[in-house]
Each structure stands twice: as structure tokens, then as C-alpha cells.
Structure 1
């Protein structure tokens, strides 16, 4: 909602509060913030504008005095007039009622704050689940793109399931992990997140239940709930989801499916061993429970390769397997895939055509070129080497600064350490004070309302220097806030 590219000019003779007031007024007058709009929190604006909060308060107070904004205790500040409605009684659309009546639920407030804060210059992102920009393979990508003019036959739309040469490459790539899938059983999607969106719309019945680990990344999203699906969390142990809890729940749940991240789970980092995977698959086969296997972290192993995917052991077409290049190559190119029975893939492909008419042709051709030679395996080795270094350094920093205030397990891959705080404190206050201190945190409550004492700590995004600075600040902050 807020334009992070605009900043007040600190060299100007015009006071900063006046510049901010004019910026807010222009948003209102241009119709970007219509009457009824709740403007961003003053703290968030101060962070984006890189000014003291008192400067924003002064600007907002003047607009309230002018009758353009109205502050309501407990519900924020809203636009109540613009320059036109101050002069004429003509009615304007009540956009707020439209926004609130949409089928898809909005992100939680904290998620929206995280999404905004990720683009604040200088913010140390201690929870971000993606590769550091320093690990993006710019030179390799340049080589891939340079080859495309000789490979690409069209810049038009691709067929519903995606570019055939890419699906052929993915079919060959999947076979190295034991998954035998023909191109006709593969759908190209704009990241695994879109795959989940398509599944929630195309396969899940309103009123049905999705079983999943608790905590889980999926609890931080609203796609299944917006489709009328209930999320039912299952407990985990150090070996992953507890499969013996599934039969009774599956029996009672209408049209149930199971969602799982068996390799380097988000947010806990847990790796499910092979015998638990077999047990899980057997239980689901007996219960005739379809499985969504989210395997986007698979290639990010640091100690040894993970066990075969569930899909590699699936002989009955029970498993939908999700993969992606976003975690290992480039999140911005938006290339992922779904593997499953052809009838299911046909259904999801039809739905994808109705929503975006196919993923970017350019990105699909680039991914096909990447997977056609030896570039990708070499890149993965580079990523693993660097990620291993980052994990080990983060563990050293935790050993030196957190032993008396937190506990954790050593992940064998992926991006995350599931940090349990052993001091009592308000996680909301920790999050807010962290923002003020220039560190962005991902509290555990985003992934499970009952995971209040946890943080999802990521060693993948921040530089080693920023990890050291950020963890030093975090340790001091926890000690200051602990009761």
C-alpha cells in the first residue's frame, strides 16, 4: 500500500513533516487512498521514510486537523475526506466495504508488516526464506539467457501444461531422485505457491479438511481457508509428522488431504527419515488420503542427501509432488512444477489457463536451458558449500550468545533453525522492538498460534556480517525484554 521508493528530501528547505503531508495528500487526491482507506501505521511510515516517528505524527495530525484524516482509537487512522469531498457532498464508492467483502482473506497484520519491512533499506532480515542476493548465480544466468535466441521458437503462450522442452527436462531431472513422471503428468507453475493455490481452488472441497504438520508454513497463508477448507495440525517429533495420528482424523474429516514438507521442513528444519516416510505413505494409502508433498528444499541438503521423496515410493498415484527453482536458483523467475496423475494435472492446467494463461515463456525457456546441461548441478554444489558455511557460522553465534536464553536443533539442510526462547517475553513486543532496532524477525506464532516462544531463524538471506550484527542485537533485545 505504501510506496517504498518515495523518500522526503532531507536537503530541501521544506520541513520533512510538510513533505510527508503533501505525499499523503497526493495519494488521497489521486484516488490511490480513497475515502475509507486505513493508512499505513505511523511506525511503518517512519521506517520507510527514514525519519523519526514524531515527524510522521506531525504530518498526520495536520491532516486530521484539516478534516482529511480521522484517527480512531484501536482501529488506526482512516481517510474521511479528499479535496473534492471537502468542497462537494457528492458520494464516492465505499471501497472499504468491497475490500472487506472479498472471498480471499487478507494476510495477517504481522505478515503485511514483514512484507513491507523486507524492502526497508538497511533492515537485517533474520527470518527471510530465500537465498541471499550474493548467492544468485548472475554469471550462470547470463550464460543461460545468451543461449536462448538460438533455442527459443516463440515468445507466445505455451501449451496449458507448460513448455514441453522444460517438462521433458524436469522429467529427466526428477528421475535422478527416483520419480518416474512423463511430461504429460507435469504442470509448470509460477512457483510452488501457485501450485498450492490451484490445488485449493481445483481439488479441495469447501468444508473439507487439510491435515498438515503443526507448526507449518501453510498456517501463515490463507489460500485454503479462503476456499472454505479447514486446516488441522498434527504433532511432530524429531522425525517429522506423527503418522500414527492420521487414521482417526482422516476417518472423521470430509474430503481430507494431507500436506507435508518432509525434507528440511519449514519452519522447523526437520528431515523426515526414510522409515517414517514409508510409514506415512502406508498410512495414507490405507486411509485413501491424497498427499501433497512440498519438496522445494530437497536440493539444499548440507550433510548428506535426503531419503527418496514420497513420490518416488508412490505406486498408486496418491502423491502430488511440488518442486521449484525458487529456493535454489531464482525466486524472481517464478518457475515451479506439480507432478501427479494425468487427470489431476489436466484439471490444474485448465484452472491455470483460466487464471494467468501460463507462466512466463521467457522464464520457462531459461529453466529448460538451465536443466539441459551441467550448469545446475555445479551451481547446487556452490550453494551447498556457501549454505553450509552460513549454517555453521550461525550455530557458532548461537553458541556464544544464546545458550542461556534459547535452545535449538542443528538442521542438516534447508534454510531454517527453529529457535525456542527459554525466557518469558512478549513476542509481539520483540517483533516491534526488533523492527525499531533494524532487525526483521519471523515469530513462531505465524506458523502455529501455540508456538509463541519460537522464532524461525534463517541463515540463508542476510550476509555473514549482518547475521553477526543481527544476532548480537537480538540477544541483547531478548535479555532486555525478558521478565
Structure 2
């Protein structure tokens, strides 16, 4: 060992000694269990004070590379390689824990994980079963489409011009007047919420919502510093909003048609009440209308249809009706807002899939979409009726529910507050996956969001029997 520290170096003698010892371990010259020379011997070799060697060795011990054995000397530790790895890698856990976007609830992480398994009965899933997706028709439409070179490139900031025009024509049936410049194509409605969160609101803004809300199960607003406030939609709503808003920026998130998770459909009067209450305090409304096409019977027009001042940002999507894999939704609002959010979207993903946009355009223009929706509604109605028959047979004495008016869900309420994490895990152990009410309202231990849209008829039968047995067991404790 002829190495000596360089006294002309910018590094201190102690730092150079530490790096030299690490090099011996990394090269394998000093393997685990190697005994180091004494401090005196090292000081003589390096031509430094013994105290300098001592400080260097203490630092190496603190790093976990060396260890002292009383009465024996200093040795390379058995886990020196692990210690070195920790020293050379970033502390990713610290990065994760201090990042802006917060982790989801553990229950939701488990839901996301187990939804990928084929051996699990999915009683809460918010998507169509594979056999409800128009797979053959989609393949046929791909053969019918003729792509221009431009359609295979990046999309324009607000999305495909023809698709935006087709969406304006489509929503006009619901009483919504819009021009293509009022539309931004997004990669699903969730991206629209994320764009609004970072593009329109300042930190500390208030997001009003119903007490039980889909927004509580995701974090597009919470992770960028927004304050979530649940309110009751009653005759005091205008006063409540004014009192809680004060001088802060605020928006109201609403799902008036087939609310997620409750399945509730607002009346025209309820929509008018919210619109006027928000108008009084100049609070924009985010109207999430992704389930509208799945209504079993016609209902009143969206809130956006009564909007003449650009107060309502309207969200739609084909993820719940045609294919979640296409990742195509839209946001309708004032031109200045749409241009702002389109600019942010281009900075994040450079536009939604141009091919997916061409597919959705084809389905809207050809009439395929309208035809598909008619058949899909009937299939969902049949599934809802089948599920209700089981509920009447097995659950009428232990739970209550409203007859579904469309969409995917029945908001099933048990007579006792038994829906907790333990209940969720007990079902999961029996290969049944539910969406418990507490992920939509932390105080709710009575409900589950029961989906009839994904599980097969046989799985619905088996899964509901297992659910029934677990409920009975929980009530008997």
C-alpha cells in the first residue's frame, strides 16, 4: 500500500482517506471481514496525524462500511456493499415522501392492484365488462378508417378540429351551445380535472363538492394544495358557499347525472338551485357528465345548458361508454379557459392520441356511437335488474338501496356501520373486491358502491352470496 493523500487537492486529507478506503472495498481488495491496519500504521503510511486517520475511520463506521470489535481492531462490515449502495444512490424514499402528489389511500391502492387479477370477483369496478365493449365493431371501424399522414402525428393543442366540431353537434342534443373553439380534447375526464387544478386555481383555493364524492378517492386537487369542502345542497346553499368562500378562489365540482358513487340523478330544480347559488358568489361549476349517455330514461338537461355566462366547465368522455383504453374525453368552456388549459396540456403530453381521436370521430359521425349506446343501455338495464333480484332475495332485511336509474352502480346501504378496512380485507381474502363507502366519505361505514357493469352474471351471483355471508357474520359479532 503505497498510496498517500494529495496535499494539493481541494479535498481535505480526511475526505481523501475515506474515499481511498471505500475504493478498496468497491474493488474487492478489502472484502467483508478484512481487518484494517492500526491507526498508527495508517497514519505512518499516509504521513498524516493519527487524529486525521481516527476521524476518517469514525466517518466510515457511521456510514456502515467499517465496524470496531473491542479488543480486536477495525474490520470491513458484512453489509459493506449494502452500505455503499445506500451512499451512492439517491434517497428515493425521501423524494417520495416529500413530493407534491400524495399517495392514494391504502384501500384504493389495493383496489387498483387486485383489479388486475383474473381470479377476483370485482363488485365495485367503475368500467364496462370486456364483453360489453364493442370489440368487433372497433376492429371493423379500424378497417374502414383511412388515415392521412397528418392524423398519425401530434394533435393540435385543443385536439382534432373535426372531432371538436362533432362533439359540439353531439352535445347540442342536450341543449348545450358550443363552438369548436370552446372544446379541448383531453385524455379522459380525470386529465381535465388535473388541468383545471394546475391551470386555473391558486394554492389554497376551495373545491366545493357533495359530502360523498368521487373526488375523495382521487387527488387531483388535494395534491396541489386545494382545500376540499363538502356541503349539503339545500335551501341554504347560497349562504353556505358565500360564508365558506369569503375572499378565496373557489369552484364547485358536481356530478348531477348518475352521481358517482351514489347513482343519484338531480332534478331540474336541483340543478337550477346550484347554478344560482354559485352564480351569486361567482363560483365556477365543474360539471362532470361522463355517465349521461347511460341513463335508462331521459332526464333534464345538464347545468351547462342553462349557462349563458361561461360559468360552467363541462366534462364528457367515451371512457364509460365506448372504451376506457381510447383515453378520449372533452372539456367545454369559455375560449380563454380552453386555450389556457390546452397550452398546459401541450406542455404535459403534447396532445391526446391522434389515432384515438380519429376513431371517436368516426363513431360519432357514422352513427355507430348512437347505435352502440342504445344496445349498451339495454345490457346495463338487464344487469341492473338481475342484481336487484339478488338484492331483494338476500339483502332486503340487512340493507337498503334505490333502484338504479342508469350507469354502473347501486349505492348499497347496510343497516349497521360494518364497512371498515377489516370488512374490506375479509372480502378480499375470499377473492371478492368491493369499493367501500369510506373511500368516498371517510366517515361512511354503511355503504358500498356495488357495480353491476363488470362482473359476469355468475360472478355477481357468487360474489353477492359471499358479501351476504360476510355481512351476516359482521352483524352477529
Name the TM-score class by shorter chain.
0.7 to 0.9
- Residues 141-152 of structure 1 correspond to what in structure 2 (within 5 A)? 141-150=138-147
1:232 aligns with 2:229: yes
Structure 1 residue 101 displacement after superposition? 1.0
Provide Cα deviations, 1:163-222, integer angstroms capped at 9, x if missing partner: 111111111111111111100000000000000000011112211111111100001111
* Counterpart selection for 2:134 from 130, 133, 137: 137
Note closer, same or farther for the CA distance 1:325–1:83 as it changes in structure 2 (3 Å cut): farther
Equivalent of residue 373 in structure 2, options 375, 380, 389: 380
The aligned counterpart of 1:275 is: 269
* Alignment correspondent of 2:68: none
Partner of 1:245: 237
Deviations 1:76-107 (CA, angstroms, capped at 9, x unpaired)? xxxxx999417878543211001111111111
**Aligned match of 1:199:** 196
Which residue number in structure 1 is paired with residue 407 of structure 2? Answer: 414
- Aligned mates of 1:259, 1:83 — CA distance in 2: 54
Partner deviation per Cα, 1:302-331 (whole Å, 9 max, x = no partner): 1x1121011111111110000000000000
- Partner deviation per Cα, 1:437-476 (whole Å, 9 max, x = no partner): 0100111000011111111111111111111110011001
Aligned match of 2:27: none
CA distance in 2, matches of 1:169, 1:298: 17
| SS in structure 2 at match of 1:85 | helix
Alpha-carbon distance between aligned partners in 1 of 2:130 and 2:152, rounded to the nearest angstrom: 28
- Other-structure match for 2:156: 159
What is the CA deviation profile of residues 240-269 of structure 1, one whole-angstrom value per residue up to 9, with x for unaligned ones? x43632433334311111000000100000
Structure 2 counterparts to residues 456-471 of structure 1, below 5 A: 456-471=449-464
Q: 1: CA distance between counterparts of 2:235 and 2:374?
A: 33
> Counterparts in 2 of 1:175-214, with a 5 A limit?
175-214=172-211
TM-aligned CA distance change 1:306 to 1:426, over 3 Å: closer
Other-structure match for 1:216: 213
- Give, in whole Å, the separation in 2 of the partners of 1:162 and 1:138: 25
**1:343-378 CA-partner distances (Å, limit 9, x unpaired):** 000110011011111001110111111111111111
Q: 1:117 aligns with which of 114, 119, 124?
A: 114
Q: Is the Cα contact below 8 Å between 2:182 and 2:335 reproduced in 1?
A: yes
TM-score (norm 1): 0.80
Q: How many residues are matched?
A: 398
Structure 2 counterpart of 1:78: none
- Once the 2 structures are TM-superposed, how far is the Cα of residue 121 of structure 1 from its aligned partner? 2.1
Contact 1:263–1:272 (CA<8 Å) still a contact in 2? Answer: yes
| Cα displacement string for residues 16-43 of structure 1 (whole angstroms, at most 9, x for unaligned residues) | xxxxxxxxxxxxxxxxxxxxxxxxxxxx
Q: Residue 250 of structure 1 contacts residue 289 of structure 1 at CA under 8 Å; is this kept in 2?
A: no
Q: Rg bigger for which structure?
A: 2
Contact (CA 8 Å) 2:256, 2:265: kept in 1 or not?
Answer: yes
Once the two structures are superposed, the pairs formed by residues 429-444 of structure 1 within 5 Å of their partners are 429-444=422-437
Cross-structure match for 1:299: 293
Choose from 307, 311, 314 the match for 1:318: 311
Quickly say closer, same or farther: Cα 1:151–1:382, change in 2 above 3 A. Answer: farther
Q: State whether residues 238 and 280 of structure 2, in contact with CA within 8 Å, keep that contact through their aligned partners in structure 1.
A: no
2:473 alignment counterpart: 480
**SS of aligned partner of 2:174:** coil
C-alpha contact 1:212 1:258 (8 A) present in aligned 2: yes
On the 8 A contact 1:152/1:365 being kept in 2, the answer is no
1:419 shift after superposition: 0.9
When the two chains are superposed, the root-mean-square deviation of aligned CA atoms in Å is 1.8
Deviation at 1:152, TM superposition (A): 6.3
Distance 1:83 1:366, change over 3 A: farther
Task: Name the counterpart of 1:452.
Answer: 445
Q: 1:140 to 1:244 in 2, by over 3 A?
A: farther
TM-score, length-normalised on structure 2? 0.81
SS at match of 2:331: strand
Q: How far is the alpha carbon of 1:148 from its aligned partner?
A: 2.1
Q: Structure 2: give runs of 5+ residues left out of the alignment.
A: 1-77
